[in-house]
Chains A and B, each alone.
Chain A
Amino acid sequence: MELRDTPDEAAFRQEVRDFIAANLPDGSAKRGARRFEDADREWSRKLGEAGYAGLTWPAEYGGAGAPYSHQAIFLEELARAEAPSHLGVIGLGMAGPTIMAWGTDAQKERYLSKILMADEIWCQGFSEPDAGSDLAASRTRIEDQGDHFLVNGQKVWSSFAHIADFCILVGLGDPDAPRYKNLTYVIVDMHAPGVDVRPLVQITGHPEFNEIFFTDVKVPKENLLGNVGDGWQVAMTTLLHERGTLGFALSATLAVAVRKLIALAKERKVTDPILLDRIAREWIELQALKYTNYRSLTALQKTGVPGPEGSASKLVWSENNQRLTKLALEILGSHAQLTNGGGYADGYWQYQQLRSRGNTIEAGTSEILRNIIGERVLGLPRSR
């Protein structure tokens, strides 16, 4: 057991710090509440050129082939500097790994390198108004028309759709097939006729997510991932990678939130022992998440398979973030009602607290995650 950076890790950490100091655009730290399109494509391209975009991607797909520890260090340093993420988070974390696992050589050649350089942005078309957690209930039709697929339907909760070039789309391929064998997974060109993206304003007042409407959208046959009817399995690959790579980013962003919470407490000169107790608890919870992710990381590096402790990370992070942001509002007192914070933190906490309510819904609701942990990690009898 060695919880410090190895010399190699320390050198990589320093390299990333130097890179961020030299390249981070001014003012990007305050970007939190703004829409993704404001984030700099140029920044994403720089990350790609420096080899930081596909750190753990194999070299044959243009990645750095680096160990997962480098990915964790990179995310920690990015969060520490409050630097914006790469615009291609869906491509890097979800579409890319899915294409590597299921794609044809032609698909790998066509799509992967453009994800790294942020030349093409991806979005995800999974959730629907009537199929949220229950993906297999998708009603979006992906009809086989012989020489192409025809897509009709609606998707929601799609971050980046308004700037995306491609969408990983799961829909109903065969309405007569049994559940879990009825789905088909395709890559859709977001610039194709019949694709309509509308911003969806959330409780924060910001249109971070989108709705996507598909009306008679023609999708070429070569855009199929896996076979017709494999959609469920392909989607599971996507979601595995979503949760697998998410953990490190989550503890890194929580570290920023805890740091800001302590700064706020000092600025507000908090002496109330009950508030101090709760602040300490958030700091402890952060350490627990961070070191749990380190345990997962070690297991991942040694076995190639994430350890079971990792599946708890997203569940715990989302609840931590909700509790922490409400604590910040309590420390702000009456200023919490002022949109700009009345001189404290420029409205950061007001936005973050409202945004945090989505944390227990997006990327697997807490209820679904508890089902997954109960059945897949703890081996409890299946309820369905």
Chain B
Amino acid sequence: MDFSFSPEQDDLRREARAFLEANPSPSMDQLQELGWVGILKNHSSEDSDFTFLDAAVIFEELGRVLYDGPYVLNEVAGQPGDEVWSIEIDGFVPHLDQVTRVLTADMQGAGASGETLATVDESLHLGKLSRNGTEPAEGNWDDVRRRLLAALALESIGIGSKVTELALAYVSGREQFGKKIGTYQAISHSLVDAYVAVELSRSLAYWAAWSVAENDEQVDLATAAAKSQSSEAAVLACEKSIQAHGGIGFTWEHPLHRYYKRALWLEGALGYGREQRAKIAQSLMAL
């Protein structure tokens, strides 16, 4: 039993964090240069050492910087060729205006045409697909769905960690009544709860990533558990972070609301927690 990333994966995380802090909104070309594009596709060929765990590191780091492009969905779609893919999720297509092809749940590939909609999370660019010129795509939806659930969980962990760190830094500097507000237990205990929720969910998200990489027999339970718990933890951490920031956390100029809006999307994408838990319960009661 070894529940840790390899030294190479730790290096990848360090590189990714440094690069993304300088370039939080990289183009697909930039990501191509880093060798990140097609990292999962290469996995299926014999000559690659990369697994879903390597992709997992990148997905989490992209969540931390609130990456606003189609890279994650393109990786999860896993289609051959050089086109950039998004995936239709719950009737809408994120980043529709930034891709050329769209994968649908019936495993059809469609041209990326349709109406771009005003989206609460402005960086999400949700669109309504007009299904023109569809043709069968590669793979099966169960695999795509498992990869997607794990990726959404990992992105949630990136967000949850980042907003908790922002809150910790803020309450360690902000003074009221002559004291750092982080010394007040009403503040510190609330942030501890956010930290604990994210850390416990992190274990689930990594377990899910490993289960996908290994095609483990528990992969459906792991991905459902990880996605529901991690996205709920991300929402909780955002809400507690906004509260700990007080008035400034409620402003448009502060980045917190953008994290919060993404977390709210993640919470619902592919089904809210209760839908994931309903599937888990069904499986537990049938055993």
Interface residue ranges, A against B (CB under 8 Å): 1-6, 9, 69, 262, 265-266, 270, 273, 276-277, 279-281, 283-285, 287-289, 291-292, 294-295, 297-299, 302, 308-309, 312, 315-316, 367, 370-371, 373-375, 377-383
Q: Are A316 and B200 in contact (CB under 8 A)?
A: yes
Contact among A273, A294, A377 for B3, CB-based, below 8 A: A294
A1-B210, A280-B278, A284-B277 as given contacts; A380 in contact with B2, CB under 8 Å: no
Please name all residues of chain A whose beta carbon is closer than 8 Å to the beta carbon of B202 when the two chains form the complex: 292, 309
Q: Are A295 and B188 in contact (CB under 8 A)?
A: no
Which of B40-48, B59-67, B178-186 is near enough to bind chain A?
B178-186
B196 is an interface residue with CB less than 8 A from chain A: yes
B22 is an interface residue with CB less than 8 A from chain A: no
B interface SS class: helix
A267 to chain B, nearest CB (A): 11
Inter-chain CA distance A381–B282, complex, in Å, is: 46
Please name all residues of chain A whose beta carbon is closer than 8 Å to the beta carbon of B206 when the two chains form the complex: 1, 291, 295
A interface SS class: helix
Interface residue ranges, B against A (CB under 8 Å): 1-6, 53, 168, 171-172, 180, 182-185, 188-189, 191-193, 195-196, 199-204, 206-207, 210, 216, 222, 225, 228-229, 274, 277-278, 280-282, 284-285, 287
Q: Which of B202, B207, B216, B222 has the most CB of A within 10 A?
A: B207
Inter-chain CA distance A315–B192, complex, in Å, is: 11
Contact among A285, A308, A383 for B184, CB-based, below 8 A: A383
B262 to chain A, nearest CB (A): 22
Q: Are A297 and B3 in contact (CB under 8 A)?
A: yes
Please name all residues of chain B whose beta carbon is closer than 8 Å to the beta carbon of A298 when the two chains form the complex: 1-4
Contact among A4, A6, A312 for B200, CB-based, below 8 A: A312
Contact among A1, A69, A277 for B281, CB-based, below 8 A: A277
B2 to chain A: closest residue by CB: A2
A10 to chain B: closest residue by CB: B1
Please name all residues of chain A whose beta carbon is closer than 8 Å to the beta carbon of B228 when the two chains form the complex: 284
B178 to chain A, nearest CB (A): 13
Inter-chain CA distance A383–B199, complex, in Å, is: 24
Inter-chain CA distance A6–B202, complex, in Å, is: 23
Contact among B183, B196, B207, B278 for A312, CB-based, below 8 A: B196
- 20 residue pairs of the A-B complex, CB under 8 angstroms, read A1-B206, A3-B3, A4-B1, A6-B1, A270-B285, A279-B285, A284-B225, A287-B222, A287-B225, A291-B207, A298-B4, A308-B199, A309-B199, A315-B196, A371-B185, A373-B196, A375-B188, A380-B168, A380-B188, A383-B188
